Amino acid sequence: MDTEIYADHAATTRLREEVLEAMLLWLREGYGNASSLYKLGRTARKAVENARRTVAEILGADANEIFFTSGGTEGDNAALRGVMACAAGRHIVSTAFEHHAVLHTLEALQKTGCDVTLVQPDRSGHVSAEEICAALRPDTALISVMTANNELGTIQPIPEIGKIAREKGISFHTDAVQAAGHIPLNVRNLCVDLLTLSAHKFGGPKGVGVLYLRRGTPFIPYLTGGAQERGKRAGTENVAGIVGLARALELAAAEMEEEAARLRVLRQRLTEGVLRIPFVRENGGGDRLPGIANFSFTAIEGEYIAMMLDQAGIAVSPGSACAAGSEEPSHVLTAIGLDRAAAKGGLRISLGYGNTEADVDAILQALSPAVEKLRAMSPAWAAMRHMGML
Ligand code: PLP
């Protein structure tokens, strides 16, 4: 594998060495089924329950409010389907720039008779609590708003929305998959009933996540099967994954302040450098996660820039990895008001653990000639030149 600089931490992160170390025992010797009654099973159960306590403590939750899942997509599905399966009202309020794990689940719920209102974010990539409130109806049963957007990094006013939801007795879910490990997440302060996490976004393994479910929240699990996770999530527990998730969250929480400050400085350096390239705009602003930056490059597509950087050993992304290969522009960038061309010109650079100043300088060094080369081949750029716009 010859990627030299990895700057796509919003897509996934490298497994931390300390996490791998913690997992190895459970992959090698500790292979028991956590539901088995003999010693091998009981030891695995103990590891799962220790991990649950660690996660609960970091999130400010009770251990019996933490349910392990297979990741963010499952957590989002479980939350939305689980609440709507037993809600009296049929209306859901969410936003137009949620991850597809939420948006496509909402589409599926619409087919079962639910009614969905999607609030548009503003140009800077934020929704307001007032706009969410204005979208509520007497039959609203669920609000789902992401803690931070995965393409822009913009942080949403979750505690304010949570207070409104609580006052009105509406269940409130937040997809905190991008935010986890980067900003403090305390479920009581956030005032949420359900919250989704995924380990691979903060130095943990892929295929394991958490659903926080506040005690008393009406919920019917959509997975049917065994009685694992106190009947809320059937399926044999991924013991090594769960141990890895807890260790990764613990490390991220301990290093958060310092790492966030470091990433903010790196992103500032990156942004200043990128904006020196002519006809570039930064997408998203205001309150943001420390490592994510998003830019649109006039007259060229982000996908081609990412491909050229890949040839230089640099991994960045035109948008969400889940939408890769799609002909459509990013639904996030169009939701904040970019036209189709500008949205196709989007490029996300997400810095994270292990990135250095030298990485940022190398990205900048490769980016400028890549943009120049692509524009030299771009009919849109030629047209702009012809019209005297350059
Ligand atoms: N929600 C958000 C905001 C994400 O960024 C992602 C992953 O990109 C997901 C959900 C899905 O998580 P997972 O990859 O663990 O299924």
The answer for 284, left when phi > 0, alpha when psi is -120 to 50, beta otherwise, is left
Across residues 347-364, what is the average pLDDT? Answer: 98
Do 33 and 181 have their domain in common?
yes
| Residue 225: partners with Cβ closer than 8 Å, 6 or more residues away | 234, 235
Structure tokens that stand for 84 in this block: 């709507």
Is it the case that residue 365 has pLDDT exceeding 60? yes
- For atom 5 of ligand 1, which residue has the closest CA? 150
**Nearest-atom index, ligand 1, CA of 200:** 15
Residues 140, 93: contact at Cβ < 8 Å? yes
The pLDDT value given to residue 331: 96
The Cα angle at residue 59 between residues 54 and 60, in degrees rounded to 5: 95
Do 242 and 268 have their domain in common?
no
Do 305 and 158 have their domain in common?
no
Ligand 1 within 6 A of 178 CB?
A: yes
Across residues 306-333, what is the average pLDDT? Answer: 85
Please state, for a pLDDT cut of 70, what percent of the chain lies above it. 98
Which of the following is catalytic: 86, 114, 133, 322?
322
Report residue 322's pLDDT band, with 50, 70 and 90 as the boundaries: low
Do 182 and 261 have their domain in common?
no
Q: Which of 278, 294, 382, 311 is nearest to 345 (CA)?
A: 294
Q: Give the separation between CA 231 and CA 56, rounded to whole angstroms.
A: 18
Burial of 75 (0-12, 13-18, 19+ CB in 10 A): buried
**What 3-state DSSP class applies to 267?**
helix
Q: 131-183, pLDDT tens digit by residue?
A: 999 999 999 999 999 999 999 999 999 999 999 999 999 999 999 999 999 99
The pLDDT value given to residue 325: 59
Q: Give the torsion sign (CA, 247, 74, 289, 323).
A: positive
- For atom 14 of ligand 1, which residue has the closest CA? 72
More confident residue, 3 or 291: 291
Do 221 and 303 have their domain in common?
no
Do 313 and 246 have their domain in common?
no
Residues 194, 210: contact at Cβ < 8 Å? no
CATH number of the domain within which 132 lies? 3.40.640.10
Structure tokens that stand for 107 in this block: 């589409």
Is it the case that residue 332 has pLDDT exceeding 80? yes
Across residues 294-322, what is the average pLDDT? Answer: 91
Q: Give the separation between CA 22 and CA 66, rounded to whole angstroms.
A: 20
Answering whether pTM is above 0.95, one says yes
Is it the case that residue 2 has pLDDT exceeding 80? no
Q: Which of 188, 223, 251 is the last residue of a domain?
A: 251
**Nearest-atom index, ligand 1, CA of 73:** 16
Please state, for a pLDDT cut of 90, what percent of the chain lies above it. 95
CATH number of the domain within which 360 lies? 3.90.1150.10
- For atom 9 of ligand 1, which residue has the closest CA? 72
| Residue 169: partners with Cβ closer than 8 Å, 6 or more residues away | none
Report residue 381's pLDDT band, with 50, 70 and 90 as the boundaries: very high
Q: Which of 210, 236, 251 is the last residue of a domain?
A: 251
Do 181 and 288 have their domain in common?
no
Ligand 1 center to 277 CA (angstroms): 31
**Nearest-atom index, ligand 1, CA of 322:** 8
The pLDDT value given to residue 326: 67
Ligand 1 within 6 A of 72 CB?
A: yes
Is it the case that residue 319 has pLDDT exceeding 90? no
Q: Give the separation between CA 164 and CA 79, rounded to whole angstroms.
A: 19
Across residues 108-126, what is the average pLDDT? Answer: 98
Burial of 51 (0-12, 13-18, 19+ CB in 10 A): buried
Ligand 1 center to 306 CA (angstroms): 21
Q: Which of 228, 251, 274 is the last residue of a domain?
A: 251
Ligand 1 center to 321 CA (angstroms): 9
Ligand 1 within 6 A of 300 CB?
A: no
Domain that holds residue 123: 17-251
Ligand 1 within 6 A of 322 CB?
A: yes
- Name the residue of 95, 249, 322, 332 to mutate for ligand 1: max ligand atoms within 8 A of Cβ: 322
The pLDDT value given to residue 102: 98
Ligand 1 within 6 A of 209 CB?
A: yes
- Name the residue of 80, 106, 149, 178 to mutate for ligand 1: max ligand atoms within 8 A of Cβ: 178
**Nearest-atom index, ligand 1, CA of 198:** 15
Q: What is the mean pLDDT of the chain?
A: 96
Say if strands 194-198 and 140-144 run parallel, antiparallel, or are unpaired. Answer: unpaired
Q: Give the separation between CA 11 and CA 96, rounded to whole angstroms.
A: 20
Do 130 and 66 have their domain in common?
yes
Residues 198, 75: contact at Cβ < 8 Å? yes
Half-sphere exposure of 210 (CA within 13 A, CB side): 37
The pLDDT value given to residue 328: 87
Ligand 1 within 6 A of 150 CB?
A: yes
Do 53 and 107 have their domain in common?
yes
Burial of 370 (0-12, 13-18, 19+ CB in 10 A): buried
Do 233 and 164 have their domain in common?
yes
Do 108 and 193 have their domain in common?
yes
Do 178 and 265 have their domain in common?
no
Is it the case that residue 321 has pLDDT exceeding 90? no
Say if strands 314-315 and 5-6 run parallel, antiparallel, or are unpaired. Answer: parallel
More confident residue, 326 or 229: 229
Ligand 1 within 6 A of 101 CB?
A: yes
Q: 173-218, pLDDT tens digit by residue?
A: 999 999 999 999 999 999 999 999 999 999 999 999 999 999 999 9
Is 322 an annotated catalytic residue? yes
Ligand 1 within 6 A of 146 CB?
A: yes
Ligand 1 center to 209 CA (angstroms): 10
Ligand 1 within 6 A of 175 CB?
A: yes
Ligand 1 center to 10 CA (angstroms): 9
Residues present in the chain in total: 390
**How many domains are there within the chain?**
2
